Each structure stands twice: as structure tokens, then as C-alpha cells.
């Protein structure tokens, strides 16, 4: 149920990305996400708009190739889009419907009748039943949405309301662009946690926040909190899956119940998960205390991060990408 959540998961490996300095990876992630947002949203297929389309497509190819080089399954990251598919589809449809600028690609009438409503209810019910048997549900969800749109366009029987929708080049381009941008951001952000251990993230955070020590900010405490948060996310997900499996073996169905029952089931999950989280936190605190951890005390490290030639090369590459996106933004 929660296996598609990838936040905080680290996959050990010896790839080029794994070996980069964690401080560089955190700064690079920030610059890349800002660069993605700097790319102007296109309004046509000419000039700056065409350059924006080429840039975001290049971003998608570049990040995908980098991810493939880590030998981590890209399918695992794309599966995390499952929870965002409804939001992404809704954003795309809103862009297409509300943006009426540009050449008209088509003009459609959406017919609403008792027949179409019954068919849509049947399609949605079939989707809810069959999605657990489909390996890649985001694509399956898009197919279902396309089917519903086709039903609304093609069936005109006992219609009680009709809505006219014009699809323009501007709206379609903007919808596709926003969809790809969100996907690129998710893949880019996943690179950090997949290729960087929680300890390295903690050390990198503490190192990057070191200037704040001048104003008496407890940097080491914040870094430790951040590291423990990342560490506990997959742990809690694993514990929650065990609880779900235990309750399922007792006859509880988390997939086929009504909304009201699902709310009650979620509440029944929160109590044991909260108890397990508190017990884990207490055990962790006792373990840290036994090993001599003192809040705010200066700690030594066995491994110290140092920038190497590869780090400088990647840093210059990221700065070049960021500068190119900034120039494109200024010229738009």
C-alpha cells in the first residue's frame, strides 16, 4: 500500500553519482530545481517558446540518463507518481480548458446524460477493481481518463446538459510542459535520497549550515534531526505495511471498502504506528545516550568530505545549466 513512497530510501551503489560529494549533490539539487522553474512556460511552437520545449525535453533526457547510470530502476521512481497522477491530470485538463489562446486544434461538445454518467461510474468501478492487477497504474490511470473523455464526447443520448470545450495549441503545449516539469522535479529530487546515505546527508547539511554557527544556531542538532527524519520515513512505512498485512490476514480489506470504512481503517492504523514510532524513538534515544551522544557537543567524524576533480566538473556543469536557463528566462 505504501511501497510506492520513495522518500528517504537509499540504494547502495558505486556509480559516479554515488561517489560525488554529498554537499555538491545537495547544492546541485537546489540549483537544478530552481533552473527547472526558470524555464519559461511556452505559448507556441516558435521562438523562445520552442527553446523552452527543447530545454525541458533536454532536462528530462539528461536526468533520466543520469538516473540510469546509477543502475537504480527508473520504474521505481516513476511508480511514486501514482499518488500525483490525479493532481497532474487535473492541472493538465484545467490548462487545456481555460487557455483559449492560439490556433484551435478542435472543438468538442461534452454530453452529460444519465447514460454517460452510468457508463462513467462503471468505468471508474472497473478501474478501482482492476488497478491492483496492473503493474504501472499511472499509465493505466491516463487510459481510464481518456476513455471517460471519449464517452463524454461520443455518446449523445438523452442529454440534459452540454459543455463546449475548445482545445488550442497554447493550452495543450502548456499542459504537456507543466506535466513534464513536475515529473523532472520528482526524478531530480529522488536522485539525492537514492544515491546519498542519511549519514552523508546529515554531515552535508551540517557543513552547509556551518556559517549559521556565528549567530548561535545549533547546526549539529538540526542536521541530526534532518538525518533521523529521513531514516525514520522508510522504517515507519515498513512497519505500517506489516500492520496492514496483519490486519488483512484478519479479514480487513483496505482496497475494496467504502470511503467511510477506509477512514476508519486509517484511524485504526494510526494508533499502532504512533505507538511503534514512540517506542522506536525511545530506543533510539537510549542507544544514542549509551554511545555518548550529547546534544550540542562537538562531534568528530571518521570520514571527512573533500571536493575532488569529478565534483568540480559536475559543479561547473550544473552552473552552466543554471546559467542557460537564467538567460532563457531573461530573454523571454
Q: How far apart are CA 253 and CA 268, in angstroms?
A: 13
Question: Which pLDDT score is estimated for 2?
Answer: 46
Environment class of residue 107 by beta-carbon count within 10 Å: exposed (0-12), middle (13-18) or buried (19+)?
A: exposed
Cβ count within 10 A of residue 56? 23
- List the chain pLDDT tens, one digit each, 332 residues: 444 555 557 778 788 888 888 889 989 999 999 999 998 888 777 777 888 888 888 888 888 888 888 888 777 776 666 667 777 777 887 877 777 776 777 777 888 888 888 888 888 888 888 877 776 677 788 888 888 888 888 887 878 788 777 778 788 888 888 888 888 888 888 888 888 887 788 788 878 887 887 887 777 777 777 777 777 777 777 777 787 777 777 776 666 556 666 667 677 777 787 888 888 888 888 887 887 777 766 766 666 777 888 889 999 999 999 999 999 888 87
Cell 533521523, located at residue:
228
Question: Which pLDDT score is estimated for 34?
Answer: 92
H, E, C per residue of 40-105: CCCCCCCHHHHHHHHHHHHHHHHHHHHHHHCCCCHHHHHHHHHHHHHHHHHHHHHHHHHCCCCCEE
- The pTM assigned to this predicted structure is 0.71
Could you read off the pLDDT of 243-292 as tens digits, one per residue?
Answer: 777 777 777 666 655 666 666 767 777 778 788 888 888 888 888 788 77
Amino acid at each position: 500500500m505504501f511501497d510506492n513512497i520513495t522518500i528517504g530510501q537509499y540504494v547502495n551503489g558505486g556509480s559516479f553519482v554515488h561517489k560525488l560529494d554529498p554537499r555538491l549533490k545537495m547544492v546541485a539539487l537546489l540549483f537544478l530545481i530552481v533552473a527547472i522553474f526558470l524555464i519559461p512556460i511556452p505559448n507556441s511552437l516558435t521562438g523562445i517558446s520552442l527553446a523552452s520545449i527543447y530545454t525541458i525535453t533536454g532536462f528530462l533526457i539528461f536526468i533520466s540518463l543520469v538516473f540510469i547510470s546509477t543502475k537504480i530502476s527508473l520504474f521505481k521512481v516513476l511508480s511514486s507518481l501514482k499518488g500525483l497522477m490525479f493532481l497532474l491530470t487535473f492541472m493538465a485538463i484545467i490548462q487545456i480548458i481555460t487557455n483559449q489562446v492560439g490556433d484551435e486544434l478542435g472543438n468538442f461538445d461534452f454530453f452529460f446524460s444519465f447514460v454517460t454518467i452510468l457508463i462513467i461510474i462503471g468505468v471508474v468501478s472497473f478501474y478501482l477493481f482492476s488497478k491492483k492487477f496492473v503493474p504501472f497504474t499511472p499509465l493505466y490511470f491516463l487510459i481510464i481518463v481518456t476513455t471517460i473523455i471519449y464517452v463524454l464526447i461520443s455518446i449523445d443520448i438523452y442529454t440534459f446538459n452540454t459543455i463546449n470545450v475548445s482545445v488550442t495549441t497554447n493550452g495543450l503545449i502548456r499542459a504537456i510542459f507543466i506535466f513534464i516539469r513536475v515529473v523532472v522535479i520528482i526524478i531530480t529530487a529522488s536522485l539525492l535520497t537514492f544515491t546519498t546515505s542519511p549519514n552523508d546527508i546529515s554531515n552535508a547539511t551540517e557543513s552547509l549550515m556551518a556559517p549559521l554557527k556565528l549567530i548561535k544556531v545549533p547546526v549539529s542538532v538540526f542536521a541530526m534531526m534532518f538525518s533521523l527524519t529521513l531514516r525514520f520515513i522508510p522504517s515507519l512505512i515498513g512497519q505500517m505495511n506489516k500492520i496492514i498485512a496483519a490486519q488483512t490476514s484478519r479479514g480487513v480489506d483496505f482496497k475494496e471498502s467504502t470511503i467511510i470504512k477506509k477512514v476508519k481503517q486509517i484511524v485504526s492504523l494510526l494508533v499502532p504506528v504512533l505507538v511503534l514510532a514512540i517506542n522506536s524513538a525511545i530506543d533510539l534515544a537510549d542507544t544514542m545516550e549509551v554511545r555518548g551522544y550529547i546534544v550540542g557537543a562537538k562531534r568528530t567524524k571518521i570520514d571527512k568530505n573533500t571536493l575532488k576533480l569529478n565534483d568540480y566538473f559536475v559543479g561547473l556543469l550544473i552552473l552552466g545549466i543554471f546559467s542557460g536557463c537564467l538567460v532563457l528566462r531573461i530573454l523571454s
